[in-house]
Amino acid sequence: MKTLLLIGSLTLISHASFADINQIDAAANTMNIEQLKQISSQTFDYEKAYAEYRLAITANILGQRQLASTHLDSAQANLAQLINRENSADASALLASIYGMQIAFDSSKAATLGVKSSRLLTQAEQLDATNPRVKLVQAISAFNTPSIFGGGIDKAQTLATEAITLFEAPCESICWGHAEAYTWRGLAKQEDGDMAGAISDWQTALTVDAQYGWAKFLLSQQTAKQVSK
């Protein structure tokens, strides 16, 4: 009986997490800062950190740099506490991505946070080598790191492709990132001069998530360029 109750409890937690992640993604797609604030105030642990991470990205896009920095710091603190209690590949990967954003905000932090991010990604891969979000964050890191320092566009494409393959497995709890993996691979292809491949990936991102705002924006930019010619 205890085993059945435990399985039931874990199932409820899993479904609740899935609902929270979907809600966060929906708010981020529409750049709804107020809704992201509300979600972050009502969730805990990983979901709270993820909501604050998406809130930071949204605020930065909208030019609210201080708000972005505040929630990025909060997401970092929440994840650090979570990892101290019960580490997971997803928690380590998300914290690594947050460090990457903090470096983008302040390049003087690259020397210290870059090393921390790399260690977290290694740790995340050791915890779960089949986690697609680990590969996705590795791809993002490679995209933003010069090849001389172990990154590069080719490496970013390879890692994004590996993430896309891993995303094909069924997912029941933490499931964000599938459309994002196609979008980052498209950006890498764009940097590599393959505009047709980039557009194809962004279009595929929208077949994964029809509401994915970033892919919509990138495609609209290309449409505007074609019209202006």
Query: pLDDT digits over 75-133, tens only?
Result: 999 999 999 999 999 999 999 999 999 999 999 999 899 999 999 999 999 999 999 99
Return the CATH class of domain 130-169+176-219: mainly alpha
Gap between the Cα atoms of 147 and 152, Å rounded: 4
The predicted pLDDT at position 130 comes to 96
Q: Are 147 and 192 in contact (CB under 8 A)?
A: no
Q: Which one-letter amino acid corresponds to residue 51?
A: A
What topology does CATH give the domain 15-117? 1.25.40
Q: Could you read off the pLDDT tens digit of each residue along the chain, which spans 229 residues?
A: 323 222 222 222 333 455 589 999 999 999 999 999 999 999 999 999 999 999 999 999 999 999 999 999 999 999 999 999 999 999 999 999 999 999 999 999 998 999 999 999 999 999 999 999 999 999 999 999 999 989 999 999 999 999 999 999 999 889 999 999 999 999 999 999 999 999 999 999 999 999 999 999 999 999 888 777 6
Give the pair of three-digit tokens for residue 224: 């505007």
Same fold flag, 15-117 and 130-169+176-219: yes
| Pairwise CA distance, residues 122 & 89, whole Å | 10
Q: Where are the domains of the chain?
A: 15-117, 130-169+176-219
Residue indicated by tokens 């896009």: 61
Question: CB under 8 Å, gap of 24 or more: what pairs does 5-9 form?
Answer: none
What is the per-residue pLDDT for 19? 55
